[in-house]
Amino acid sequence: LETALTDLDLPADDIDLLTTAERTALLRQGNPAAVHSSPAATTLPALLSAQATHTPHAPAVECGEECLTYAEADARANRLARYLIGRGAGPEAVVAVAVPRSLDMVIAVLAVLKSGATYLPIDLAYPPSRIGFMLRDARPLAVVTTGRTLGDLGCDEMSTVVLDAPDTADAIATLSGSDVTDADRVHPLHPLHPAYLIYTSGSTGTPKGVAVPHAGIASLALTQAERFDVGEGSRVLQLASPGFDVSMMELVMAFATGATLIVPPARMVVGEDLAVVLRDGRISHAVMSPTVLGSIPDGAFPDLRTLIIGIEACPGELVQRWSVGRRMVNAYGPTEATVYVTATGQLSGPDVPPIGGPIVGTRVYVVDGGLGL
């Protein structure tokens, strides 16, 4: 009141309602328990290697009739990582992956991360013009692909690694499958180095690349293990487009906890097809948008015990329909903050769910239009 009467021309929004002590208290309040329990900064390759050592014989990734254990997947990724390092891949370099859904796609992603390079996902369902823009803009050191998809990429002027080319496959097979360390990399890998490069939808103009560092991945992994009840024996569906950061959430959810990542071979799975995948694949954990969830017909899904929704607001009727008998969580966050920053507890009832509270290692503040508390 004193401020308003002293300066009559001051806009009301600019009047500070907090004393210095009150503002300090709010800034410190946040979520101290979550901040104090933050895991030590690490890298995604370190998490993957640790899990492969802990559960070497557990199934790591499954696609159709094919399945690799953690030891097998780790060794294959290490060999390809060494091949990429020999081509110059390492921290601060970008390597694109344009491989159809398969075990090879997952191994390629892991290999790029193990080399220390930044993973650039290329969704082969994207229009050629968008793929071309991303490749020109990111200027990857190399594009990992297959002979079947090479001609569709329009990257004739770029260096490629064609996984099924006989000479390439033979060269990779001769390399060591032992763990890749900083001694093998071009440069040491630091948690602040970019892990992956995601291009935004472009709904407000030209798509823009967002480089996300390794630093936030440990908190993401810890939150998922604690809140989603995921671990050894779980079966995580790899449903999201590789060009969407939720695909990294799925990968981390599986490989950082000892679960199995289930990769359906089809590019787009919705409706009855998705219902079949959930049932036949005995999926225990899935992440999807309310739009995709709403496309699934009614039915029994006895193995599906955790369902994470996000991306858009979820109608209350979907919560009522899907939350009975399983854990259902709403997660929210921008790409820049390692997939998501808030998550709810168990959802139920007919109301539109909130975005929840901060995940491990994160504080959340409510601000006004001027970014003030």
Cα 38 to chain center, whole Å?
Answer: 19
Tokens 């770029």 label which residue? Answer: 158
d(C-alpha 55, C-alpha 53), whole Å: 6
Query: Does residue 35 lie in a domain region?
Result: no
Tens-place pLDDT, residues 252-294: 999 999 999 999 977 768 889 999 999 999 999 999 999 999 9
In eight-state DSSP terms, residue 373 is -
Residues of the chain falling short of pLDDT 70: 29-40, 202-204, 268, 373
Return the biggest CA–CA distance within the chain: 81
Question: By the 8 A CB rule, do 163 and 144 touch?
Answer: yes
Per the domain annotation, does 5 fall within a domain? no
What integer pLDDT is reported at residue 3 of this predicted model? 86
What is the structure's pLDDT at 34? 46
Q: Say what the pLDDT of residue 207 is.
A: 83
Q: What is the pLDDT of residue 32?
A: 54
Q: Give me the number of domains the chain comprises.
A: 1
Q: Give 169-207 pLDDT, tens digit per residue.
A: 999 999 999 999 999 999 999 999 999 999 987 666 788
CA angle 75, 173, 149 (to 5 degrees): 95
- Is 171 exposed, middle or buried, given 0-12, 13-18 or 19+ CB atoms closer than 10 A? middle
pLDDT of residue 39: 63
Q: Token pair for residue 47?
A: 């998490």
Q: Convert 19-74 into a string of H (helix), E (strand) and C (coil).
A: CHHHHHHHHHHCCHHHHHCCCCCCCHHHHHHHHHHHCCCCEEEEECCEEEEHHHHH
In a domain, 7, yes or no: no
pLDDT of the residue at 184: 95
**Kind of pairing, strands 260-262 and 235-237?**
parallel
Angle at 118 between CA 37 and CA 95, to 5 degrees: 155
Residue 365 lies in a domain: no
> Rounded to an integer, what distance in angstroms lies between the CA atom of residue 154 and that of residue 316?
44
> Is 37 inside a domain boundary?
no
pLDDT of amino acid 183: 94
- Whether 368 is in a domain gets the answer no
End-to-end CA distance of the chain: 18
DSSP 246-305: HHHHHHHHHHTTT-EEE--SSS---HHHHHHHHHHTT--EEEE-HHHHHTSPS---TT--
Provide the token pair at 226: 């604690």
Query: What is the per-residue pLDDT for 182?
Result: 93
DSSP letter string, 158-200:
S-EEETTSHHHHHHHHTS--SPP-TTTSSS---TTSEEEEEE-
Report yes or no on 12 lying in a domain.
no
**How many other β-carbons are positioned within 10 Å of the β-carbon of residue 2?**
7
pLDDT at 70: 95
Q: Phi-psi category of 215—alpha, beta or left, where left has phi over 0 and alpha has psi -120 to 50? A: alpha
Counting DSSP H helices and E strands in the chain, the numbers are 14, 15
pLDDT score recorded for residue 367: 80
Do the domain assignments include residue 345? yes
Phi, psi of 341 (to 5 degrees): -125, -15
Domain holding 162, by residue range, is 44-358
Task: Report the CATH number at residue 340.
Answer: 3.40.50.12780
